[in-house]
Amino acid sequence: MLCQWYHLYHVLKTDFMVVGSRQRVASLEEDIALSLLDTELEKVKSVKCLGVDIDEYLTWDNHMLSIRQKVTCYLSVLRRVKPFLKRENLIDIYRSIIQPYFTYCCIVWDSISETQIVNLQKLQNRAARIITGASYLQRSSDVLCELGWMTLETMRKRQKAILMFKILNGLTPPYLSEMFTHSASFHDYGMRSSRTNLALQKSHRFLQKEFCIYRSKNLE
C-alpha cells in the first residue's frame, strides 16, 4: 500500500515518533529503526502537525508552551492599544487574535495536566483584566462574568459536548463514530437512554487516558 502512494512522501522531510507512556517508551530494549524507499528515517521526540505540537508522551508540554508564548506576546499588544480603543474593540481583538489559541484543536489536547490548565486560565484572566481595567483585588470569576466569558475549561467541555452531539447524530466522519458503540447493542432489551449511552471500542489504556475523544462520552 505504501509503495502505491510513495509519490506522496518526501523522504527527506519524513520522520517518525514512538508514542507511549514514559515507562513503555523507556522499556524498549533497543532503538527502533525505520526506513522508507531505502532511506533511514529520523526518530524524533516531538512533531508539529497542523499547528499542534505532539510529543512522544502526549503531555502536550511543547504545545502549551507555544500557546503561552504567543498569547503573552499578544496580551502586551492588547495592553498597549487599550488607551486608544473602546471595550468592544478590545473584546473583538481578543476574540479574533487571542482566543483562537485557546480553542484550536482543544478537543485533542484537553488531557493536559492541572498545572497547564491553571497556567492557561491565568492568561485568559489577564486578558479580562486588561479589557475591563479590573484590579487584582477583584476575583477573576467576577471579571469573567462581567464580560460574559466562560472559563477555558468550560469552553473545552462545550466543544466536547458539540462533538459528541455530532457523533450521536451521524454528523461526523465514520472514523469518529466507529470509535463508539451504543450500549443497546450489548443487551437484548432497549432502554430509554440507550441511544445516548455509548461504550468505547477496545483501545490501549494509555490512549484512552491521553486522547480526549475517549473521555468525551463521560461529560456530565
Q: Nearest-CA neighbor of 198 among 215, 180, 211, 186?
A: 180
Say what the pLDDT of residue 36 is: 81
Say what the pLDDT of residue 203 is: 57
Say what the pLDDT of residue 8 is: 59
Cβ atoms of 121 and 153 closer than 8 Å: yes
Say what the pLDDT of residue 91 is: 97
Say what the pLDDT of residue 216 is: 54
Cβ atoms of 15 and 42 closer than 8 Å: yes
Say what the pLDDT of residue 186 is: 47
pTM of the model: 0.80
Which stretches in the chain have pLDDT values below 50? Answer: 1, 186-188, 190-191, 193
Say what the pLDDT of residue 215 is: 56
